[in-house]
Chain A
Amino acid sequence: DAGVIQSPRHEVTEMGQEVTLRCKPISGHDYLFWYRQTMMRGLELLIYFNNNVPIDDSGMPEDRFSAKMPNASFSTLKIQPSEPRDSAVYFCASSFNTGEQFFGPGTRLTVL
């Protein structure tokens, strides 16, 4: 298996633009997680899905953030409009049942 796939790996955008991050989980995994990592706040869970259904989005910082999982093999995290404070590394992870999570390589987002 190729592991968790994220795209793009790097994204540079200007404040106010819409940003879409993509994730393909490991085939057969039923949980998908979106994390954000910054120097100041460390690793934060934003939202997670079970069988494509959002279970807990309490970590989503603002209404500017939204996430979808239209099917078992694809998820998106969208920021609209983006702000400089959204600059971070965003990780996607997947797991089977409540077992170990496998992380993607991350998307480094820079908002100018």
Chain B
Amino acid sequence: AQSVTQPDIHITVSEGASLELRCNYSYGATPYLFWYVQSPGQGLQLLLKYFSGDTLVQGIKGFEAEFKRSQSSFNLRKPSVHWSDAAEYFCAVVSGNTGKLIFGQGTTLQVKP
């Protein structure tokens, strides 16, 4: 069965520092992968997605993610974090041809001034 693991429940970084949020998936075929962000009291917003092609994908708000098939990973990165990036981040994979998203547990990002 497909699954997504986000090993870090909570991460704190200083403003201006680089960020990497980890995501590992379990899926037999080529996965469709997503990163969503949820600010407090808000719905989920798509940051970026990977369907095929270039394994380094660019998203909104200066985020990028790299698909590594050998490591079954799709880690999210940002070179310099802003205070407004404090939020919860979810990695997800589409389950087969169903259209269902399998979400990770989420990583809460705290940004120190």
- Among A43, A91, A105, the most chain B Cβ lie within 10 Å of the Cβ of A43
What is the size category of the interface that chain B forms with chain A?
10 to 19
Give B73-101 as 1s and 0s: 1 = Cβ < 8 Å from A's Cβ atoms: 00000000000000000100010011111
Whether A103 contacts B43 in the complex (CB less than 8 A), given A42-B105, A43-B106, A98-B32, comes out as: yes
Binds A, one of B10-18, B21-29, B44-52, B62-70: B44-52
Please tell me if the beta carbons of A95 and B43 are within 8 angstroms of each other in the complex: no
- The one of A56, A98, A106 that contacts B94, using a Cβ cutoff of 8 Å: A98
- Among A31, A56, A98, the most chain B Cβ lie within 10 Å of the Cβ of A98
**Which residues of chain A have C-beta atoms less than 8 A from B32's C-beta?**
98-99
Which A86-112 residues sit within 8 Å CB-CB of chain B?
91, 93, 95, 97-106
CB distance from B107 to the nearest CB of A (A): 12
Whether A104 contacts B98 in the complex (CB less than 8 A), given A43-B103, A98-B32, comes out as: no
How far, in whole Å, are A100 and B45 apart by their CA atoms in the complex?
A: 10
Please tell me if the beta carbons of B43 and A106 are within 8 angstroms of each other in the complex: yes
Please tell me if the beta carbons of B98 and A55 are within 8 angstroms of each other in the complex: yes
- B71 interface residue (CB < 8 Å to A): no
**Which residues of chain B have C-beta atoms less than 8 A from A56's C-beta?**
98, 100
- B42 interface residue (CB < 8 Å to A): yes
Residues of A within 8 A of B (CB): 4, 31, 33, 42-43, 45, 48, 50, 55-56, 91, 93, 95, 97-106
| 6 A-B pairs with C-beta separation under 8 A | A43-B106, A45-B100, A50-B99, A100-B34, A101-B101, A104-B43
Residues of B within 8 A of A (CB): 32, 34, 36, 42-46, 49, 90, 94, 97-101, 103, 105-106
**7 other A-B residue contacts (CB within 8 Å) besides A100-B49, A103-B36:** A31-B99, A42-B103, A97-B99, A98-B32, A98-B97, A98-B98, A103-B43
